[in-house]
A and B are shown apart, each in its own frame.
Chain A
Amino acid sequence: MVSVRMRSCVLSVLLLNVFYNVVSSLYFHIGETEKKCFIEEIPDETMIIGNYRTQLYDKQREEYLPATQGLGMFVEVKDPDDKVILSRQYGSEGRFTFTSHTPGEHQICLHSNSSKFALFAGGLLRVHLDIQVGEHANNYAEIAAKDKLTELQLRVRQLVEQVDQIQKEQNYQRYREERFRQTSESTNQRVLWWSIVQTLILVAIGIWQMRHLKSFFEAKKLV
């Protein structure tokens, strides 16, 4: 009885902690038609959650206020093969999620959907962005509630997820290193191959030139 109440108290504190996460994230300015892209290099089967918040510059008060309704952001995510895996419009504050199916460089692009050029009032839109990768994207409050975990179990579960992610990243690193090595070896081979071919072609052209000119002079009765 007592422990249940304590647990629910802990969980509610947990939940509130999770919701207050976006407080001190990085921000940048974006123009009306400008598109800002970020690249995330991730292994396969990794979940990514992006949170963003926009603020519009108010000329009268000369400060940034929370953005107006109707001003949304268009989010587009491309996978390493340049195929679009997420292309959606969100409001002035939003969160987007996707899971990678191929390892590699995924490109996350944001641009505003504003068509009225006057809306930004010459200023810029301030965008707060936070991207969580892999196990950081897990919502532990939810998992704890769903699987009815005690706190100790929750923390151990988290450690397991963290180790999983490290292992996935290491596997991906091995695959990339292999590709890297293949490119290097291929370059090395090609340098040697092209040099030999060029030398042979040079010699062949020299022989051809001399033979051709010789027959030409003989034809012209100069030799």
Chain B
Amino acid sequence: MEVGRVIVCALAVFVALFSERFVVLASFSQSMDSDFTFTLPAGRKECFFQTMKKDASLEIEYQVLDGAGLDVDFLISSPSGQVLFSDYHKSDGVHTVETVDGDYMFCFDNTFSTVSEKLIFFELILDNMEIEEEQDDWKEYVQGTDILDMKLEDIMDTINNVKARLGKSVHIQTVLRAFEARDRNIQESNFDRVNFWSITNMVVMMVISGIQVYLVRSLFEDKRKVRT
């Protein structure tokens, strides 16, 4: 019994060492996501790559948060180079891909804009990235020998459930934050625009009235008398 347990523990260590797709204990749910916000300079194209396994799914969601026109070209291509999705001048988009083994490339293209740089937010959600059996194997090691066996499992299930839902809340918060950032950027550029054009308008008005007066006066500056 003791020996058995030691062997089981050694096995656990071995499996952890040699398996590639072990996910951190901290994430109970199977999906891993990462989000990034970056500045895409004018006239540039930036590409990112993600290594995927077979039969997993990749969901990418992107938004343009700032920059004149608030649009960007987007492209996803499979490991074999085939273009899977292509967006033209879109301000946000969502795409899901059922994956094969290899590196997926996705690119944001701002080459059509010569002066304005874009602020782009994108989020990658990976599902089914680890193998199912490993998760179950791990559970076996955890099941203790206490009498509270079954009760512990129920509590664990509830906790897993709660964690998954909280994970979704965090995800929704991230998306909302991106939307809000975009609206805020639009507002701030409105504010700047209103200030700038109002002052310009006033200055132009005053300059033009000065010029008008000057021109009319200069019509009468010469010594010729105007016929009445």
Task: Closest A residue to B1 by CB, please name it.
Answer: A2
Residues on A with C-beta less than 8 A from B220 are 216-217, 220, 222
- In the complex, the answer to whether B169 meets A216 with C-beta atoms within 8 Å is no
- In the complex, the answer to whether A190 meets B13 with C-beta atoms within 8 Å is no
Contact with B along A140-155 (1 / 0, CB 8 A): 1100000000011001
Cβ-based interface call for B83 (8 A): no
Q: Number of residue pairs across A and B with beta carbons under 8 Å?
A: 184
Cα A84 to Cα B94 with chains together (Å): 34
Residues on B with C-beta less than 8 A from A173 are 173, 176-177, 180
Residues on A with C-beta less than 8 A from B16 are 13, 16-17, 20
- The listed residue (B5, B32, B163, B191) touching A158 by CB distance below 8 A is B163
Cα A206 to Cα B18 with chains together (Å): 86
| Chain B binder among A94-102, A112-120, A177-185 | A177-185
Given contacts A6-B5, A38-B37, A198-B202, contact A213 B22 (CB under 8 A): no
Cβ-based interface call for B88 (8 A): no
Cβ-based interface call for B156 (8 A): yes
Main SS class of interface, A? helix
Q: Which residues, 37 to 63 on A, are CB-close (under 8 Å) to B?
A: 37-41
Given contacts A38-B37, A222-B228, contact A166 B170 (CB under 8 A): yes
- In the complex, the answer to whether B173 meets A151 with C-beta atoms within 8 Å is no
- In the complex, how many residues of chain A place their beta carbon closer than 8 angstroms to a beta carbon of chain B? 71
Residues on A with C-beta less than 8 A from B23 are 17, 21
Cβ-based interface call for B125 (8 A): no
Contact with A along B178-199 (1 / 0, CB 8 A): 0011011001101100110010
Given contacts A17-B22, A20-B16, A180-B187, contact A159 B47 (CB under 8 A): no
Cα A4 to Cα B27 with chains together (Å): 24
- In the complex, the answer to whether B194 meets A138 with C-beta atoms within 8 Å is no
Q: Which residues, 162 to 199 on A, are CB-close (under 8 Å) to B?
A: 162-163, 165-166, 169-170, 173, 176-177, 179-180, 183-184, 186-187, 190-191, 194, 197-198
Cβ-based interface call for B131 (8 A): no
Q: Which residues, 141 to 155 on B, are CB-close (under 8 Å) to A?
A: 141-142, 144-146, 152, 155
Residues on A with C-beta less than 8 A from B36 are 26, 38, 131
User: A194-B194, A212-B213 given. 9 additional CB < 8 A pairs?
Assistant: A9-B8, A24-B51, A41-B177, A41-B181, A136-B26, A158-B26, A169-B170, A173-B176, A180-B180
For this complex, 21 residue pairs linking A to B, each with C-beta atoms less than 8 Å apart, are A6-B141, A13-B13, A20-B22, A21-B23, A26-B36, A26-B50, A26-B124, A28-B47, A40-B37, A130-B34, A140-B25, A152-B155, A162-B170, A163-B166, A179-B184, A183-B184, A187-B187, A202-B205, A208-B209, A209-B212, A222-B228
